[in-house]
Structure 1
Amino acid sequence: MLKVEIRFMIKDLYRRGVTISEIARSSGHGRATIRTIVNGPVSPLPRKRKARVRKIDPFIAYLEKRMAEGVYNCRKLLDELQRQGYQGSWSLLKSFVQPYRQARRHQATVRFETEPGEQAQVDWAHFGFIMHHGCRRRLYAFLMMLGWSRSLYLEFTVSADAAWWLRCHMHAFHYFGGVPRVVLHDNLKTAVLERAAGAVHWNPRYLDFADYYGFTPRACQPYRAQTKGKVESSVRYVRGNFWPGLTFVDLADLNRQCQAWLDGTANRRVHGTTAEVPLERLAQEPLLPLDGKPDYDTSLIAFRRSTKDCFLSYDGNYYSVPAAYAGQLLQVKESEDGQLLVLDARDEEIARHRLAEGRNQRIALAAHYARLGHSSPPARRPSAVQLPAPQSLADLPAAPEVEIRPLVWYDQLLGVA
């Protein structure tokens, strides 16, 4: 292929009136070549190479479908493709997915605003570890933000289980003075058991909790954390404003300081998006009223079988039960205020203890053993007794015959007389 400079010179000569034959003789190229250059561009288009069939080509439709669902993890995609017969390399898959990742990273979004009282967004965040009741525990932060007013609720816990998931919701409702109509969150197991064929299978207890307070739970699409971007940005705000340089004694002290920060800083500032104070906008949110209804029972429920010595095991410690319930399967409820309730098969309370700290503690109440008397060993069963066999006179040995002598005979024998 001729260089661009030579092609330009040939076209320039032709524009000046030099014939194709003269240009061919002076340049040493054939007339057909000169004619092609004259009628074509200075920079010829590159020849299209014949597309090679790649090992990944049969799976492109599947990959595009999975990436549309938010799955960009190449290790996960490789496992799925290999189960379908893919024999290509991980690097080939990675090079195919990479442009889609970049496009997703720079994808423009539209801010979604909700009506007053319509929606709250919820999230958990991990904040390291804390010493709690003598044990090193993970420290979690529960955050709930109202979408319209941007009012924030924050609470720290040492557990993110189902009971504390519900309790933190309940505490947030009390803090806001009402309940939003929709609560948006991730697909965590305390709310969503699974998603199958686009359908959400909810945790039954969470649905019962939602029905009790009258809100509708809504789970984000997988891998779409930006759906609840308001509370996501609140996590960054807490890490950058409340957390740095903080000192606290225990979990209760941490939550006291957290409450003061919410009331004095987070919900008193002028919000960057709304340009208004969140607490002032909160008064305008038509939240569903609590109506003075009693708090939902968020007790942890478990079942334990008591031992013969009238104890049951719970969370590493042992608690006594009345002696009449030894060896029975009993229901155990741990309440939010640290009480451990023991119920029988009729759901009647038979024992109540304060949760113990530490491990391997035995908490016994004397009343549980009051009816347990000191029993004596059981009487032995009477055994058979062998009696001596009866004997007849015929069976007795014969008596010896004794000669009768006068007493004088004994005197003579002794020499007395």
Structure 2
Amino acid sequence: MIIEVDIYSAIRLRYTGGESIRSISKSLGISRQTVKKYCEGNTHPDVRKTYERSAAVITSDVESFILSCFLEDEVENIKKQKHTAKRIYDRLVNEKNFTGSYSSVRDAVRRLRAEHEIPPQSDIPLTYDPGEAVQIDWGEATVYIDGQKTKISLFCARLCNSCDILVQAYRTQNQETFLEAQQRAFDFFGGVPRRVIFDNAKVAVKEGFGLYAKPQDKYLSFSAHYAFTLDFCNPAKGNEKGLVENLVGYARRNFFVPVPRVDDMKSLNEQLWQLCLNYRATHKVAGRNQSVSELYAIEKEYLNPIPRFRFDTSKTVYAKVDDFSIVRYEKNNYSVPTRYIRKEVTIKGYADEVFILYEGKPIATYQRSYGSGNTQYRLEHYIDLLERKSRAVFNAKPVRDNITKELLDWGKILPGGNKEMVKLLRLCLDYGEDKILSIKRSIPSHIIPTVDIVRSCLNEPLETPVIYLNQDIEVLETDLTKYDRKFGVVK
């Protein structure tokens, strides 16, 4: 019988007060067996005995057969061809003449499987020696770059011993950004850990996963130069790099709220660099006795030194300059000086910049374009050609893409026509468009503008031709008669 707490209290109080079980039973109207059960406090009404009932048909032989089925599955290791409870029941009936019910076998399979399998959620606490490893990963965040809402990729790195961090932002996730980001991490940490832990992303792995992963050739060369070993995680096993997985969320919540508004990626990364320095100086990880700063000071001494030669992280290609003085790199176009038309140049693409070289010497540098079909022109690359083909000046894309409409409209009213406009463009390259426009605005409206007027304003004469010295120059008098005496001119 299940009783309430007030009845239980009355039984205990009366019994400890000396009242008999018979009297308590009669006065409370409950059986003597119930009073006897609770009077000495050997149990409590809230205690419920767990229901246990084992089927008699599940003998030790049946359990051994079920376990042997589990063992077969482990040996074969075929994910979609494993014993189910129904299949085990059918085999027991056919092979062991089992006469019990399917439900008894199903319950036994569930119980034995739980006893012999490790739950997939189980984790092992890990610890790392100073300088042993760094975990790296990618994440995403949203920022405003030059007023445009932009989704960016976050590279996150965390030293496993001290938990020091670095977070940097990139336009996309490719091999150039991946290698450059690790270089920055080594610079930030002041050394190279002995092991890098990462997942199986294509920027690092060309085939396989985990222990069987084959790294990309350039990443293998990069790791050889910086003397660290590669440790790739198993698919969908974020717990194998839990430190950096937590960092991705931490960075989004703490570094990108409120949403940053920056002019370019460089200024954003400078902000993130400083935030990571502040984290190092002030943060203390829960459950640790020392701060990140104290642990980092110890771990830094165990990091391998950074090689003096800086590994080239760029994606390098060779291309021929076309007749429009343009080269193509990663679906986008970049101009070069016209003297390199039909010559082969080297293009080095980094995370944020593109360098174009001819015979090892740089001839053009650009901010890297992402997307497709974009063309960047430089006016200085075409000015020599425009001096020869001045009729094309007002329709030339390098001119329209680099010169304001105000200057173009002004050039159309110059007396010399197209040739005068080309001369004006040359002055823009030499002195800057803002300077030329300021001169244009200073010329009275009744005066017809010419390039010579602009030149005269650029070459402003001195206020006075007289040069004043701070002090007079002292001229020493020299006795020249000694030369006359030497050569016998004077006796």
Q: Do both share a fold (TM > 0.5)?
A: yes
> Which residue of structure 2 lines up, in the alignment, with residue 144 of structure 1?
157
> Which residue of structure 2 lines up, in the alignment, with residue 377 of structure 1?
none
- Structure of higher RCO (CA pairs closer than 8 Å, 6+ residues apart): 1
Contact kept, 8 Å, 1:320 with 1:368, in 2: the verdict is no
Structure 1 letter corresponding to 2:166:
Y
Secondary structure of the corresponding residue to residue 77 of structure 2: helix
Matched, 1:334 2:349: yes
> Which residue of structure 2 lines up, in the alignment, with residue 349 of structure 1?
361
> Which residue of structure 1 lines up, in the alignment, with residue 245 of structure 2?
232
> Which residue of structure 1 lines up, in the alignment, with residue 272 of structure 2?
258
Q: How many residues align?
A: 294
Map 1:188-203 to 2 at 5 A. 188-195=201-208, 199-203=212-216
**Shift in Å, 1:281:** 0.9
Matched, 1:313 2:325: no
Map 1:146-185 to 2 at 5 A. 146-185=159-198
Say which of 258, 280, 296 aligns to 2:294.
280
Structure 2 letter corresponding to 1:111:
P
Taking a change above 3 Å as real, the CA distance of residues 353 and 264 of structure 1, as seen in their structure-2 partners, is closer
**Shift in Å, 1:116:** 0.8
> Which residue of structure 2 lines up, in the alignment, with residue 123 of structure 1?
137
Say which of 305, 328, 340 aligns to 1:289.
305
Contact kept, 8 Å, 1:151 with 1:267, in 2: the verdict is no
Structure 1 letter corresponding to 2:366:
R
Deviations 1:345-389 (A, max 9, x none): xx5336223337793332254479579988xxxxxxxxxxxxxxx
Taking a change above 3 Å as real, the CA distance of residues 326 and 66 of structure 1, as seen in their structure-2 partners, is farther
Matched, 1:242 2:242: no
Matched, 1:186 2:183: no
Secondary structure of the corresponding residue to residue 193 of structure 1: strand
Secondary structure of the corresponding residue to residue 283 of structure 1: helix
Deviations 1:299-358 (A, max 9, x none): 232343322232223456543345564345543113456342134xxx533622333779
Structure 2 letter corresponding to 1:290:
I
**Shift in Å, 1:46:** 7.8
Taking a change above 3 Å as real, the CA distance of residues 229 and 368 of structure 1, as seen in their structure-2 partners, is same
Taking a change above 3 Å as real, the CA distance of residues 197 and 161 of structure 1, as seen in their structure-2 partners, is closer
**Shift in Å, 1:103:** 6.6
Matched residues, percent identical?
23
Q: C-alpha separation between the residues in 1 aligned to 2:338 and 2:169?
A: 40
Matched, 1:302 2:302: no
Contact kept, 8 Å, 1:320 with 1:365, in 2: the verdict is no
**Shift in Å, 1:262:** 1.8
Q: C-alpha separation between the residues in 1 aligned to 2:361 and 2:309?
A: 20
Q: C-alpha separation between the residues in 1 aligned to 2:189 and 2:220?
A: 21
Taking a change above 3 Å as real, the CA distance of residues 247 and 141 of structure 1, as seen in their structure-2 partners, is same
Taking a change above 3 Å as real, the CA distance of residues 137 and 104 of structure 1, as seen in their structure-2 partners, is farther
> Which residue of structure 2 lines up, in the alignment, with residue 383 of structure 1?
none
Taking a change above 3 Å as real, the CA distance of residues 372 and 333 of structure 1, as seen in their structure-2 partners, is farther
**Shift in Å, 1:138:** 3.0
Structure 2 letter corresponding to 1:268:
T
Contact kept, 8 Å, 2:133 with 2:159, in 1: the verdict is yes
Secondary structure of the corresponding residue to residue 245 of structure 2: helix
Q: C-alpha separation between the residues in 1 aligned to 2:158 and 2:167?
A: 9
The CA RMSD over aligned residues, in Å, is 4.1
**Shift in Å, 1:267:** 5.1
**Shift in Å, 1:210:** 1.1
Deviations 1:166-224 (A, max 9, x none): 11111111111111000110011111111179532111111111111111121112232
Secondary structure of the corresponding residue to residue 122 of structure 1: strand
Structure 1 letter corresponding to 2:217:
P
Contact kept, 8 Å, 2:146 with 2:261, in 1: the verdict is no
Q: C-alpha separation between the residues in 2 aligned to 1:196 and 1:262?
A: 31
Taking a change above 3 Å as real, the CA distance of residues 369 and 281 of structure 1, as seen in their structure-2 partners, is same
> Which residue of structure 2 lines up, in the alignment, with residue 400 of structure 1?
none
What's the TM-score, normalizing by structure 2? 0.51
Contact kept, 8 Å, 2:139 with 2:155, in 1: the verdict is yes
Say which of 229, 234, 242 aligns to 1:216.
229
What's the TM-score, normalizing by structure 1? 0.59
- Contiguous gaps of at least 5 residues in structure 2: 1-52, 59-68, 82-108, 390-491
Deviations 1:245-292 (A, max 9, x none): 34332434433332332222365222113232112111111100125x
Structure 1 letter corresponding to 2:133:
Q
Q: C-alpha separation between the residues in 1 aligned to 2:388 and 2:273?
A: 53
Q: C-alpha separation between the residues in 2 aligned to 1:368 and 1:210?
A: 45
Map 1:62-141 to 2 at 5 A. 65=77, 104-107=119-122, 109-127=123-141, 129-132=142-145, 137-141=150-154
Contact kept, 8 Å, 1:138 with 1:159, in 2: the verdict is no
Contact kept, 8 Å, 2:176 with 2:350, in 1: the verdict is no
Deviations 1:30-64 (A, max 9, x none): xxxxxxxxxxxxx894878xxxxxxxx9xx94998
**Shift in Å, 1:119:** 0.6
The structure whose residues are more often helix, as a share, is 2
Q: C-alpha separation between the residues in 1 aligned to 2:191 and 2:388?
A: 55
Contact kept, 8 Å, 1:320 with 1:364, in 2: the verdict is no
